[in-house]
């Protein structure tokens, strides 16, 4: 079983391989990426990119996660990463993503999220896909709104990020919403 490759107008979403580790490390080690994600450390440890890439194949084979690199079709450059965590017992997925700082505000996160949501509903047979963002990071909430997710609530001071308990906004979309909107 191999991770899927998804093509959009401007992007290719595909499995990362070890040759991508240096580019991944360069982008993901920016402070701005760690600041608004829960699990990405800063400074980003040497070797962590290669370890993460290697773990993606196993997690996919176990049916637990679909993690893909986001590459620009025009020149093949790595622009970010996106993933779905799969909770098969509930047919539910959790979407997460980041885009490298040089590539912000070009619509790439929205384009990639739409492609992975579509894959989650059509190919993985999921029923519901959720996403959450720190309330202080409204750009990510905007991505969720642009792909048609519904705001379901704010969890106040719900997670600890470094030395601070931060508010988290929750969004979701059901398969029926997605299919009704996209056909």
- β-pairing, 150-161 vs 164-174, is antiparallel
> By rule CB under 6 A, what string of x and - marks binding of each residue 88-107 to ligand COA?
---------xxx----xxxx
Give the nearest distance from C-beta 124 to ligand COA in angstroms: 21
Helix (H, G, I), strand (E, B) or coil at 130: strand
Contact 170, 154 (CB under 8 A): yes
The backbone region for 100, taken as left when phi is positive above 0, alpha when psi lies in -120 to 50, beta otherwise, is beta
Give the nearest distance from C-beta 62 to ligand COA in angstroms: 24
Among 143, 149, 172, 173, binds ligand COA (CB under 6 A): 143
E strand spans, 15-127 = 65-72, 78-87, 92-99
Q: How many helices (H) and strands (E) does the chain have?
A: 6, 8
Per rule CB under 6 A, is residue 142 in the interface with ligand COA?
yes
Q: Binding to ligand COA (CB under 6 A): which residues in 101-140?
A: 104-110, 133, 137-140
Per rule CB under 6 A, is residue 67 in the interface with ligand COA?
no
Interface contacts to ligand COA, rule CB under 6 A: 32-33, 36-37, 97-99, 104-110, 133, 137-140, 142-143
């Amino acid at each position: 079983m191999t991770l899927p490759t998804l093509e959009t107008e401007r992007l290719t979403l595909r499995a990362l391989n070890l040759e991508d580790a240096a580019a991944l490390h360069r982008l993901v080690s920016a402070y701005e990426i760690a600041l608004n994600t829960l699990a990405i450390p800063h400074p980003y440890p040497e070797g962590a990119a290669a370890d993460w890439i290697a773990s993606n194949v196993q997690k996919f084979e176990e049916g637990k996660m679909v993690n893909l690199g986001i590459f620009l079709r025009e020149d093949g450059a790595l622009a970010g990463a996106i993933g779905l965590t799969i909770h098969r017992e509930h047919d539910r997925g959790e979407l997460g993503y980041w885009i490298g700082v040089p590539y912000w505000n070009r619509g790439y996160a929205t384009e990639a999220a739409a492609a992975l949501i579509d894959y989650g509903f059509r190919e993985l047979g999921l029923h519901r896909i959720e996403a959450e963002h720190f309330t202080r990071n409204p750009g990510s909430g905007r991505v969720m709104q642009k792909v048609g997710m519904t705001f379901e609530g704010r969890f106040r001071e719900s997670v600890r990020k470094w030395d601070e308990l931060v508010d988290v906004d929750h969004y979701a979309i059901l398969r029926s919403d997605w299919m009704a909107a996209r056909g």
